Amino acid sequence: MNKDRPISLAGLRGFVLAARQGSFTKAAEELCLTQSALSRQIQALESELGERLFVRTTRVLKLTEAGAKLEKVAVAMLDQLDGCVSQIRRGSAKKRVTISSFSSFISMWLIPRLGALHAAHPDIDLHFQATDRFVDLDTEDVDVAIRYCTPDTLPSTGQVLTREEIYPVGSNTVAANIEPGLDKAFDPEGQTLLLQESTTSLYPWSAWATWLPDTATAETTKSLRFTNHDQIIQATMLGQGVALGRHVLIEYFVESGLLRRLSPVSIVPPQAYCLLVSERAKAVPEVELFIEWLKSEIRIGNASPQ
C-alpha cells in the first residue's frame, strides 16, 4: 500500500451515508445499490486507508476513531461539492434564493411571514436550509445566512439585524392560573418547566435557574426537556408547561394571542440575530429583494409593543 497515494472517492458517499444511517442496508437502498456492492466499496476504502472505519455489531454500525475523523471531513467536502454542482445545474436564469439558518428561526420567524412575500413576488424560488452549522458562503450553494451569535464573532461583512430579549411565557390557559404581576423570582409551584437540552453552556440565560427563587431549582420542579426551541414553544402553546421565550422567535405567537408573557422582567443576552450575504449574491436582484424584506420585517417587529 502506497501511503502517499490519494484515495479514490468511489466509496466516500456510501461511507458517509452508512455512518449517518448506522446501516449498510439502509445506505445501499438510498444509493440504489445492493448491500454487498456498498460493503465492497467500504472494504476497498478501508484497504486504501489501512484502517477500519466501522465496528460492525449485530444491530448497528459504529464508527471507529479513524472513521469519525474521515466522516467529519467527508461530510463537509461532499456538502461543498453538492453545492457547486447545484449552482452549475441551475445556472443564472432562475430567480432562486437559498437561505441558511437554524431550524427554530426558519420555523418560528420566517414561515409565519412568508405569505405576503410570496404574494408580492411569486416568481422567486426560496430554498431554506435548516442547520446549526455555520455554512461557508464562499464555497457552498447558499446566498444568505442568518446566524445567532455574538456580534464580535461576525466577519467584517456581517450585519446585526436585531438583539434578543428573554422572558417567561405560557398558554392562555396556563397564564390564567398564574398570579399577575410576576417579577424575576418566578414561582414554579404547580408548573412544568420546559427546558432546552445541552444549551446552558452556550446560552446560560436559557436555564430556569436565573428565574427561580432561591428556594427552588429546576431539578426540584416538574420539567420536560426538548432539543430545539420550536419544540418548546409548541409544547407551551399546547399548555404543557411554561417556557423561557426568545422574543424575536415568539413575537408572532404573542401578538397572535397564542402565547402570553408571564413577567414584565426580561434578560438581554449577548447573542444577536446576524446577517451574512455571499459575495457572489450581493448584486442579485432577488437576493437584494429578500434582504430588503427581511430587514423591513425585523424593523416592524422591533417597533411592535411588547
Of 84-98, 116-130, 174-188, 281-295, which range is least confident? Answer: 174-188
Burial class (CB in 10 A: 0-12, 13-18, 19+), 87: middle
3-state helix, strand, coil in the chain (%, to 5): 45, 20, 35
- Which residues on neighbouring strands pair with residue 193, listed in sequence order? 223, 242
What is the pLDDT confidence band of residue 94, given thresholds at 50, 70 and 90? Answer: low
Q: What local confidence, expressed as pLDDT, does residue 91 receive?
A: 57
**Domains annotated on the chain, with CATH:** 12-87 (1.10.10.10), 93-162+271-303 (3.40.190.10), 166-261 (3.40.190.10)
- Helices (H), ranges, 22-64: 24-31, 35-49
Using CB atoms within 10 A of its CB, is residue 236 exposed (0-12), middle (13-18) or buried (19+)? Answer: buried
Give 200's pLDDT tier (boundaries 50, 70, 90): low
The position carrying cell 411588547 is 306
- Say how far residue 284 (Cα) sits from the centre of its chain: 25
Q: What is the pLDDT of residues 125-166, one digit of tens each?
A: 889 998 888 888 877 888 999 999 999 988 888 999 999 999
Q: Which of the 8 DSSP states describes residue 7? A: P
Alpha carbon of residue 245 to chain centroid = 16
Average pLDDT over residues 96-119: 90
* C-alpha dihedral sign at 158, 159, 164, 170: negative
Residues 220-233 have pLDDT tens digits of 568 888 888 899 99
Backbone angles phi, psi at 169, to 5 degrees: -140, 160
* Three-state DSSP state, 219: helix
For residue 304, is pLDDT > 90?
no
Q: What is the secondary structure of 127-180 as a DSSP string?
A: EEEE-SS---TTTSS-SEEEEEE-GGGS-TT-EEEEE--EEEEE-HHHHHTS-S
Give the model's confidence band at 101: pLDDT under 50 very low, under 70 low, under 90 confident, else very high.
very high
- pLDDT tens per residue across span 213-267: 655 555 556 888 888 889 999 999 999 999 999 999 999 999 999 999 988 888 8
The three-state secondary structure class of 4 is coil
**Pairwise CA distance, residues 208 & 75, whole Å:** 36
List Cα–Cα distances, 228 to 21, 54, 60, 234, 300, in angstroms: 22, 30, 26, 10, 26
